Amino acid sequence: MPDKAWKALERRVATYFNTERNALSGGNSKVTRSDSLHPDLFIECKQRQKHSAVTLWDETKQLADKEEKTPVVCLAEKNRKGFWILVHSDDLSKL
């Protein structure tokens, strides 16, 4: 029986970060609630039909492609320090 889509995503992400999927992620694991067994990163995977941040990234990519640049989307919340950086996994090594 093939993996459910979300399990396949967790495996793909774990492989990308040179680790393994945590088969019992969430409350059932006695090791970590992370979706992976990475020693330093707490990885949470979410697969949805659509993410608004990804839609924004798609629009940014179209503009970046016209200028032959790497698209990077930065998200911030008012009255909160710092920001989040959204970069496609294929582009991460370019930064």
Strand partners, 70: none
DSSP 93: G
Quote the pLDDT of residue 26: 67
H or E element, residue 30? none
Asked whether the beta carbons of 20 and 36 are under 8 A apart, the reply is yes
- Residue 17: CB atoms within 10 A of its CB come to 14
pLDDT mean across residues, the chain:
93
| pLDDT tens figures, 21-65 | 998 876 777 789 999 999 999 999 999 999 999 999 999 999 999
What global pTM score does this model have?
Answer: 0.85
